[in-house]
Structure 1
């Protein structure tokens, strides 16, 4: 009987402690004012928030500029492609949907390379070996530029979470469409036509 009473008292004490902590946390969160977290410096500002370090990009935004070395050892800078439509694709050799869309991209490149620049950024930091990229491209003879994102800086700038992901960029350098997942020839043709 004594053990039962001690057990019940122990449960009551523990429940009381949990309830006390819950009430204290609620009081603290209610007493916090918006200006305690205001990063603008304006104490009258309302509705301010702290955003994550990574910025997301939307249709109509200027595509973030970057410069990377390509697989062929040339420098590619996105802003130098202004005046031309750009299909900016992010991919990796280990990604089956990426491998599925690459022949379609090559066919599109063969037909429209005078009007549209395909840039296929390899997420090199995610590859087992950098040599895998060269072997894969050579095996299938893809001719569009393959910049190597060795330090994931471009991946981060474009907030790439999954591959493939493609940004369609118009002649002024503005993002016109963001497409997650693989593309086919007709999709690219229609999307570029609407840019």
Structure 2
């Protein structure tokens, strides 16, 4: 995806965990879409920081997790559910067993982070396990929060 492109529709999930949401429900509020996988070590390391962002910006930011399988082993819904519980992923999880949303986002990485503004336009993208301070700065910028 290119910056300023509109968020794709959240369709094609093989399953939703926690709650199903539609793109229209997200508009009017900034949104963080976070791609992860059960087989990704960096994803597991970053999860507490993603959860901190979710909790800190509870009223201002939507957080959606997208489980992107990297192999056949990553398709077991029981394993996905168990890992989600074990890592306190309480936000909606789009299980992308057929890579429908992965393709719509043109995403190739886990973990990957997409920050959309309240109009649903992409304002920031980053991938990899580090750089959470940068992600928080970009979220703050989209939310109009002054850096201290």
Which structure shows the higher helix fraction?
Answer: 1
Q: Secondary structure at the match of 2:17?
A: coil
Q: Give yes or no for contact 2:126–2:135 (8 Å, CA) kept in 1.
A: no
Normalising by structure 1, we get a TM-score of: 0.65
Give the drift of 1:143: 1.5
Superimposed CA distance per residue, residues 19-61 of structure 1 (whole angstroms, 9 cap, x where no aligned partner): xxxxxxxxxxxxxxxxxxxxxxxxxxxxxxxxxxxxxx21011
Equivalent position of 1:181 in the other structure: 128
Give the drift of 1:125: 7.0
Normalising by structure 2, we get a TM-score of: 0.84
Taking the aligned partners of 2:132 and 2:109, their CA distance within structure 1 comes to: 21
Give the drift of 1:102: 0.7
Instruction: Please list, as runs of the form range in 1=range in 2, the aligned pairs for 1:108-187 lying within 5 A after superposition.
Output: 108-124=53-69, 126=71, 127-183=74-130, 186-187=133-134
Equivalent position of 2:23 in the other structure: 78
How many pairs are equivalent?
Answer: 138
Taking the aligned partners of 1:185 and 1:161, their CA distance within structure 2 comes to: 19
Taking the aligned partners of 2:89 and 2:131, their CA distance within structure 1 comes to: 15
Which structure shows the higher strand fraction?
Answer: 2
Q: Secondary structure at the match of 2:95?
A: coil
Taking the aligned partners of 2:54 and 2:65, their CA distance within structure 1 comes to: 11
Equivalent position of 2:145 in the other structure: none
When Rg is computed on C-alpha atoms for both structures, the one with the higher figure is 1
Structure 2 runs not aligned, ≥5 long:
143-148
The higher-RCO structure (CA 8 Å, 6+ apart) is: 2
Q: 1:61 aligned to 2:5?
A: yes
Give the drift of 1:156: 0.8
Q: Give yes or no for contact 1:101–1:184 (8 Å, CA) kept in 2.
A: no
Q: CA RMSD in A?
A: 1.8
